[in-house]
């Protein structure tokens, strides 16, 4: 029986250590094209070393390793950490680097074919400042040859290809390339599923396979003369928890993604993480010259830095149509934003359709027939956002910024008085001393909170013109009678009432409410000894990093938007300003005691000078820079490294049909580069650009989580084998056991038959049970694999 189990063990071993055949190829551009962080083969020990290096710093006695050597090491016999041949690793068992040296050479019938991979020429490392310079005078990228100061050419960086944005925490692309065929690519949910995931599949299918190169535009020859690379057919998503209906502040967005020969796997705890993973997957796909969709072998483990990553859009200064708002939601999803802060009403107009107070809309909107958001519109927008894992937080700003409310509601606004004590005909903020005010608010917010399911509602509270309050004799009298000395106490009073109204409505609707207010409410009530309450979140929009630090340390939950006012424009590229927002970079994750209190940030698009015609090109791709700041690690902050990637993100969004603008100077959107024989303008620029780059290959991005969940798709193929072998063994055992109680069998079973202790047989039963469960679990994939093998194989790729 020892022999038998050894046989099984060897069989298992052989199956697990997959043969490397000549199926895996390098993309000819693999090394030379500008994919950051990747295009470089890395083996397990290297990987562990890098992780350790990341955690503990580089080993002191060793010089920093040159990762380019990994290329060379590929054909050498690979050894594990302790000098033994490696058997299997947690990370990607079909990685050729993990291949065990043959245990029994006699088992091998044929010598293993050697993988023909051209050794990449050593990449030149040039001084950045020598060839490509950062032209400071007008904030742009550009070229200037070192020896001719008079020649200066502005240009954007050449876009990367197949690199994700924002940068995942752990991003490990490798130089192996697989092909995807849009018509033959299938996505499956292995765990829980729901409409969110199903629509995400559709969206991913659409977004990943947007062709920018005509099919069969040209032939691409890979290094061994073939014209095609191995095809991946499946993407499997495992969601570990039942789907929530709506995204929330507490949603878990982490995911793990692995691209392997056998397929793409995404593991996520919640469906929201799966959405982010699918987005990342769709960004990894790129096209070669012949129009093939390619993807690199990749391992990604990802989670966001901040839970609240928002975009504010003001629909009151100019009306923004529903269609544009939805296309903005799509752009947000492609940048992993998760909050749409809808500044829906303001001084200028009241486009929200209120059914309980219809006059607000009737008189407050620009045009109550065309320039409003009906309840159906709102439900549709909230639903579109939900399907993309985006929360919709409406803002009803009061007591300031409410002029448009006054047209439809009498006695709501304070009338202002001039110095003679006469009303001057203007109206100021909401009148805080009337009961009627709170009745209006109560009715309005009840309706609003029924429409918007999110836990948070933004109550505004910014820029209250106190002069109008202090000039009004009734308010003056009210303050005198209530012993109020500072007008800020009035704001404090008002906000307290509003917050209590909100929490009452929350109680009635049986939900927890986390209201958000602008910074002034916190500042002003703090000055008069009040507070905004523990559940309230404060949004920063003015002030410096110091304020932020103080607030966070005081235990206040804060959203940051000071440096992200995207409505302010200037000539040239300004994204680096948003990318390295000072308020946030000085605020280091480790530097503060109370990091978790900073829950995120928001890009603000106020619409004084923006409407439908310009919103998308103005907001995107500038907000894209913010996306990376809010999602990726604080250490991802080198804009020179980010430039080609953000350029690719811009082109990608454009390709997917979003009207995004220009970011970084002259250039064009296309990922075809560096192909010998074809004329590309980039070839010259890209070469210079790359010369100037620091080493892209250092996988310095992010840190590892404690645990990495990877569903091993390869093991799927073992299921039938395991079952058949187990059944054979059991049958054999039973037969032998029942017919003759020979000593040999007793010897093999290690224990006399009939005793109650668990023996090999018992172990086999348990093993079989597990195998069976595994089989059931992976059945859907199985069936597809089976069906797929029956399809006729086409010799030419079909698009």
Partner 1 sequence: MAFTENVAASRFNLVYLALTVLLLQYVPHCASITQTVGQPWPLPQSYKSGTNVQSLDADTFLFRVVGNDCDLLREAIVRYYKIIFRTAADAAPSHEDEVLRFQPKSDPTVLEWDQYNTDESVLGSLDVKVEDKCVDIGYPSLDMDESYALTVTTGSATLVGKSIWGVMRGLETFSQLVYEVGLGAYQVNDTEIQDFPRFAHRGVLLDTSRHYLSLRSILQNLDAMAYNKMNVFHWHIVDEISFPYESRTFPQLNIQGAYQPAYTHTYTQENVRTVIEYARLRGIRVVPEFDTPGHSLSWGKGQPDLLTKCCTKGVFNGHYGPVDPTVNSTYTFLTGLVDELSKVFADHYFHLGGDEVSFGCWESNPNITQFMNKTGMGRNYAKLEEYYMQRLVDIVAKKNMGYIIWQEVIDNGVKVRPDTVVEVWRSGQEAELAKVTNLGYRAILSSCWYLNYISYGSDWMTYYKCDPQRFNGTSQQKELVIGGELCMWGEYVDSTNVISRTWPRGSAVAERLWSAEEVKFPEAAEARMEEQRCRLIGRGLPAEPVSGAGHCRHEYDPDQ
Residue choice 54, 87, 371, 761 for contact with partner 1 (CB under 8 A): 371
Backbone angles phi, psi at 373, to 5 degrees: -105, 110
Dist CA 619 CA 551 (whole Å): 29
Stretch that binds partner 1, among 65-73, 144-152, 379-387, 700-708 (CB under 8 A): 144-152
Residues 750-789 binding partner 1 (CB under 8 A) are: none
130 lies in the binding site for partner 1 (CB under 8 A): no
Residue choice 90, 367, 703, 742 for contact with partner 1 (CB under 8 A): 367
Q: In sequence order, which ranges of 667-718 are alpha helices (DSSP H)?
A: 682-692
Is 23 tagged catalytic? no
Dist CA 738 CA 753 (whole Å): 10
**Could you give the string, one character per residue 498-527, with x where binding to partner 1 holds by CB under 8 A and - elsewhere?**
------------------------------
* Strand positions, DSSP E, 53-131: none
Neighbouring C-beta atoms of residue 740, cutoff 10 Å: 10
211 lies in the binding site for partner 1 (CB under 8 A): no
348 three-class SS: coil
799 lies in the binding site for partner 1 (CB under 8 A): no
Residues 430-489 binding partner 1 (CB under 8 A) are: 433-436, 474, 477-478, 481-482
651 lies in the binding site for partner 1 (CB under 8 A): no
Catalytic residue among 184, 362, 380, 463: 463
Is the CB of residue 494 less than 8 Å from the CB of residue 432?
A: yes
**Beta carbon nearer to partner 1, 156 or 545:** 156
Helix (H) or strand (E) holding 772: helix 760-777
CB of 478 to partner 1, least distance (A): 5
**Beta carbon nearer to partner 1, 18 or 371:** 371
Residue choice 58, 80, 85, 145 for contact with partner 1 (CB under 8 A): 145
Stretch that binds partner 1, among 16-24, 46-54, 213-221, 354-362 (CB under 8 A): 213-221
Residues 675-694 binding partner 1 (CB under 8 A) are: 678-681
662 lies in the binding site for partner 1 (CB under 8 A): yes
425 lies in the binding site for partner 1 (CB under 8 A): yes
CB of 602 to partner 1, least distance (A): 19
**Beta carbon nearer to partner 1, 160 or 284:** 160
Q: For residue 154, what are the CA distances in angstroms to 126, 150, 157, 713?
A: 20, 13, 10, 47
Structure tokens at 715: 């093991």
Could you say which DSSP state residue 794 is in?
P
- Comparing CA positions, the residue from 421, 403, 430, 406 lying closest to residue 471 is 421
654 lies in the binding site for partner 1 (CB under 8 A): yes
Per-residue buried b or exposed e for 527-559, using 16+ beta carbons within 10 Å of the residue's own CB = ebebebeebbbbbbbeeebebbbebbeeebbbb
**Beta carbon nearer to partner 1, 548 or 664:** 664
Reported as half-sphere exposure (CB side, CA atoms, 13 A), residue 319 has a value of 16
- Comparing CA positions, the residue from 22, 7, 139, 21 lying closest to residue 575 is 139
406 lies in the binding site for partner 1 (CB under 8 A): yes
In which region does residue 340 sit, left (phi positive, over 0), alpha (psi from -120 to 50) or beta (all else)? beta
CB of 423 to partner 1, least distance (A): 6
Residues 540-569 binding partner 1 (CB under 8 A) are: 567-569
CB of 441 to partner 1, least distance (A): 13
Q: For residue 668, what are the CA distances in angstroms to 207, 346, 575?
A: 20, 39, 18
Residues 293-332 binding partner 1 (CB under 8 A) are: 316-319, 321
CB of 288 to partner 1, least distance (A): 14
147 lies in the binding site for partner 1 (CB under 8 A): yes
Is the CB of residue 280 less than 8 Å from the CB of residue 160?
A: no
Dist CA 47 CA 98 (whole Å): 12
CB of 574 to partner 1, least distance (A): 10
Residues in binding contact with partner 1, number by CB under 8 A = 82
- Catalytic residue positions, numbered: 463
């Amino acid at each position: 029986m020892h022999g038998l189990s050894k046989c099984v063990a060897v069989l298992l071993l052989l199956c697990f250590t997959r043969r490397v055949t000549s199926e895996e190829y390098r993309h000819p551009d693999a090394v030379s094209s500008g994919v950051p962080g990747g295009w470089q083969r890395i083996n397990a020990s290297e990987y562990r070393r890098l992780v350790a290096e990341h955690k503990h710093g580089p080993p002191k006695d060793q010089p920093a390793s040159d990762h380019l050597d990994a290329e060379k090491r590929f054909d050498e016999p690979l050894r594990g950490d302790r000098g033994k041949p490696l058997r299997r690793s947690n990370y990607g068992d079909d990685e050729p680097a993990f291949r065990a040296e043959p245990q029994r050479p006699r088992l091998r019938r044929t010598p293993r074919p050697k993988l023909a991979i051209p050794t990449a020429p050593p990449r030149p490392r040039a001084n950045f400042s020598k060839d490509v310079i950062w032209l400071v005078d007008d904030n742009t990228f550009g070229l200037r040859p070192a020896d001719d100061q008079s020649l200066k050419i502005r240009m954007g960086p050449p876009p990367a290809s197949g690199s994700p944005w924002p940068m995942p925490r752990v991003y490990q692309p490798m130089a192996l390339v697989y092909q995807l065929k849009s018509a033959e690519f299938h996505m499956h949910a292995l765990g829980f599923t729901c409409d969110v995931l199903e629509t995400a599949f559709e969206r991913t299918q659409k977004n990943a396979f947007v062709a920018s190169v005509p099919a069969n535009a040209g032939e691409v020859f890979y290094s061994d003369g073939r014209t095609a690379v191995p095809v991946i057919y499946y993407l499997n998503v495992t969601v570990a928890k039942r789907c929530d209906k709506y995204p929330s502040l507490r949603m878990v967005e982490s995911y793990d993604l692995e691209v392997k020969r056998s397929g793409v796997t995404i593991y996520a705890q919640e469906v929201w993480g799966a959405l982010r993973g699918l987005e990342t997957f769709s960004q990894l796909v790129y096209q070669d010259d012949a129009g093939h969709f390619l993807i690199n072998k990749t391992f990604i483990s990802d989670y966001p830095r901040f839970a609240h990553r928002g975009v504010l859009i003001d629909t009151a200064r100019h009306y923004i149509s529903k269609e544009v708002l939805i296309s903005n939601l799509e752009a947000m999803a492609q940048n992993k934003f998760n909050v749409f802060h809808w500044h829906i009403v303001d001084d200028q107009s009241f486009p929200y359709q209120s059914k309980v107070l219809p006059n607000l809309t009737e008189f407050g909107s620009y045009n109550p027939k065309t320039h409003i958001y009906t309840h159906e519109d709102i439900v549709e927008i909230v639903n579109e956002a939900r399907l993309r894992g985006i929360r919709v937080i409406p803002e009803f700003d009061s007591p300031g910024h409410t002029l448009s409310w006054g047209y439809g509601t009498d006695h709501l606004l304070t009338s202002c008085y001039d110095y003679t004590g006469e009303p001057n005909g203007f109206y100021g903020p909401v009148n805080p001393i009337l009961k009627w005010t709170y009745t209006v608010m109560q009715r309005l917010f009840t309706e609003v909170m029924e429409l918007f399911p999110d836990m948070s509602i933004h109550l505004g509270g910014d820029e209250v013109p106190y002069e109008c309050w202090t000039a009004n004799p009734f308010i003056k009298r009210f303050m005198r009678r209530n012993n109020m000395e500072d007008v800020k106490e009035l704001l404090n009073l008002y906000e307290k009432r509003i917050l209590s109204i909100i929490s009452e409505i929350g109680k009635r609707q049986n939900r927890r409410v986390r209201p958000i207010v602008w910074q002034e409410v916190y500042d002003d009530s703090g000055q008069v000894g009040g507070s905004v309450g523990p559940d309230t979140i404060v949004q920063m929009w003015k002030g410096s990093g110091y304020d932020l630090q103080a607030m966070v340390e005081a235990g206040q939950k804060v959203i940051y938007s000071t440096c992200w006012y995207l409505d302010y424009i200037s000539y040239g590229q300004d994204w680096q300003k948003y990318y390295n927002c000072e308020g946030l970079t000085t605020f280091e994750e480790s530097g503060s005691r109370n990091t978790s209190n900073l829950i995120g940030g928001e890009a603000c698009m106020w619409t004084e000078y923006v409407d439908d015609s310009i919103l998308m090109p103005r907001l995107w791709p500038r907000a894209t820079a913010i996306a990376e700041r809010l999602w990726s690690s604080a250490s991802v902050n080198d804009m020179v490294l980010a430039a080609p990637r953000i350029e690719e993100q811009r082109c990608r969004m454009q390709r997917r049909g979003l009207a995004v603008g220009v970011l970084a100077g002259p250039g064009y959107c296309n990922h075809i580069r560096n192909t010998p024989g074809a004329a590309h303008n980039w070839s010259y620029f890209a070469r210079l650009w790359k010369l100037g780059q620091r080493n892209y290959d250092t996988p310095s991005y992010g840190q590892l989580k404690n645990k990495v969940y990877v569903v091993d798709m390869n093991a799927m193929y073992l299921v039938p084998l395991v079952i058949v072998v187990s059944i054979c063994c059991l049958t054999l055992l039973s037969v032998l056991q029942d017919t003759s109680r020979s000593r040999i069998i007793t010897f093999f079973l290690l224990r006399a038959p009939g005793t109650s202790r668990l023996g090999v047989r018992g172990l086999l039963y348990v093993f079989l049970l597990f195998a069976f469960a595994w089989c059931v679990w992976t059945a859907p994939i199985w069936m597809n694999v089976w069906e797929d093998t029956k399809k006729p194989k086409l010799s030419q790729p079909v698009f």
